[in-house]
Amino acid sequence: MKKIVVVDDEADICFLLKRFLSKNDFIVETAQNGKDGLALIESISPDLVMTDFRLGDITGTELLTTIKSKRPNVPVLIITGYSDIKVAVNVMKLGAYDYITKPLFPDEILVTVKKAIADAETSENEEQQYVAPASSDGNSEPAKPARKSQPRTRAGYVMGSSDVSDNLFRQVDLVAPTNFSVIIYGESGSGKEAIAQEIHNRSKRKDMPFVAMDCGAISKELAGSELFGHEKGSFTGALQTKIGHFELANGGTLFLDEVSNLSYEIQVALLRVVQERKMRRIGGSKEIDLDVRIIVASNERLLDSARNGKFREDLYYRFNEFTIEVPALRNRKDDLMLFAGAFLETTNVELGKNVKGFSEEVKNDFLNYSWPGNLRELKNVIKRATLLSDGELIEEKALPFEIVNYKRLKDLDDEPAPAASSAASLLLDNADGDDTKPSLKTVANEAEYDMIMQVLRDVNFNKSKAARLLNIDRKTLYNKMKQFDI
């Protein structure tokens, strides 16, 4: 069970939070001043700290600074009143994970706590040094206690060693020190956010916030609130004031992924903010000055979207001060096994395993496959294969169906008039009494997978478009992609 320390000078708050979080399977300890809170943190090594900003003996800033100096990976949630919101945002810039305003709402607290702990675990796994260095063929050296050697990485992104990778990071090094807005083009899963993060890390804003927003995962009704924030009571359901992504990123960098999915109305408001460097929260009257570098990403050409009337052309020209192309994984085959080896090493640490590399058959499968999901797909495939592997090497039996049978499926797709679907053909080919022949359920799953993959390829992995074409909602599509490791 995860451990939480609550620090608040109000005994009622401590009692209520302890009772609520304990019922949700957390171990909770409380303290009513900063000194006792720090002592408690030292003694039990919590997975998360919740603290009121205003304590009797020390300030929230002092408490946060002390926690981060001793336990930098522990997420800290700031509890604050409405009048302290500006102060809370400043504290977040010093390293707090998030803030929660009073009055406290249980559902919001639980979601924020779970997300903070999950993000901290993910970050810790990514930051851990690797078990062994990956060679260019993806195999690792025997595991050693030391974890120093690793492939070239930046911000958790494996850089690669090919000419394609070198050219990519030359562009990053060129634009990072400037304040240029940047458009990053690349297919889904190719690492656009990691490139944006690296631009930020190499800039003069590196000590200020980097805030990312996936515009394709937010409805148009919520997009304005997420970007600009809102005041309490500004619309139905606005139970408390919300700080938007622009305000959170002030002084730093705001990354907008799949920016072309923003509605026309939001684009108009965004253009005004970009031009004037000022904004108002929804329902608010106060102008807020902004100093934010904007990096946007898209898997479709924004100029084409502008010409088609989907994206404002004036907004495109505001963003288009510098452009970076992130190559697809199928165009980085010289780096593929280096990436695979790096992902294997991090997965070994995460799962506590000691898989040392890949069989020759698996290497050939990897090099022959098209990787439509790019680095994200490769990482997920290796995590699954590592979990399923009992020996020192990952074998073909641990790989997904579509990778092992890629050439065969591709040949079937290339036939002008196939007598049956690729999945059905495999069923017929195995209808010879073989005990390993697929079941009807397997064939149905393969057919469903083929349909989803075909539509995703047709729309260049734009999930919103794919969901519309498949006549399902986006959540269902995400669940299917998770089920099939896409």
Q: Residue 186 pLDDT > 90, yes or no?
A: yes
Question: What is the rounded distance in angstroms from the CA atom of residue 42 to the CA atom of residue 56?
Answer: 20
Q: What is the pLDDT of residue 140?
A: 52
Nearest partner of 283 among 230, 240, 236, judged by Cα: 230
Q: What is the pLDDT of residue 90?
A: 67
Indicate the pLDDT class of residue 486, thresholds 50, 70 and 90. Answer: confident
Q: For 367-407, how does the pLDDT look when each residue is reduced to its tens digit (9 = 90+)?
A: 999 998 899 899 999 999 999 999 999 999 999 888 988 87
The larger pLDDT score, comparing residue 128 to residue 123, is at 123
Q: Residue 61 pLDDT > 90, yes or no?
A: no
Range 268-274 average pLDDT: 93
The larger pLDDT score, comparing residue 142 to residue 454, is at 454
pLDDT above 90: percentage of residues in the chain: 44
Q: What is the pLDDT of residue 200?
A: 94
Supply φ then ψ for residue 301, to 5 degrees.
-70, 120
Indicate the pLDDT class of residue 364, thresholds 50, 70 and 90. Answer: very high
Q: Residue 307 pLDDT > 50, yes or no?
A: yes
Question: What is the rounded distance in angstroms from the CA atom of residue 38 to the CA atom of residue 462?
Answer: 47
Q: Contact at 8 Å (CB) between 212 and 248?
A: no
Name the token pair of 377.
């797909």
Range 122-139 average pLDDT: 54
Q: What is the pLDDT of residue 83?
A: 47
Q: Residue 72 pLDDT > 60, yes or no?
A: yes
Q: Contact at 8 Å (CB) between 134 and 151?
A: yes
Q: Contact at 8 Å (CB) between 74 and 46?
A: yes
Q: Residue 125 pLDDT > 90, yes or no?
A: no
Range 414-431 average pLDDT: 51
Q: Residue 126 pLDDT > 80, yes or no?
A: no
Q: Residue 29 pLDDT > 80, yes or no?
A: yes
Q: What is the pLDDT of residue 131?
A: 40
Q: For 148-177, how does the pLDDT look when each residue is reduced to its tens digit (9 = 90+)?
A: 334 445 445 567 778 888 889 889 999 999
Q: Residue 86 pLDDT > 80, yes or no?
A: no
CB atoms within 10 A of CB 286: 8
Range 103-127 average pLDDT: 79
pTM of the predicted structure, to 2 decimals: 0.58
In a 13 Å sphere around the CA of 275, the CA atoms on its Cβ side amount to: 10
CA distances from 164 to 159, 201, 202, 449 (A): 10, 21, 20, 31
Q: What is the pLDDT of residue 19?
A: 92
How long is the chain?
A: 486
Its sign, for the CA torsion 52, 57, 59, 60, is negative
Asked if residue 103 has a cis previous peptide bond (ω within 30° of 0), the answer is yes
Indicate the pLDDT class of residue 144, thresholds 50, 70 and 90. Answer: very low
Q: What is the pLDDT of residue 329?
A: 93
- How much is the mean pLDDT over the chain? 82
Indicate the pLDDT class of residue 325, thresholds 50, 70 and 90. Answer: very high
Q: Residue 425 pLDDT > 70, yes or no?
A: no
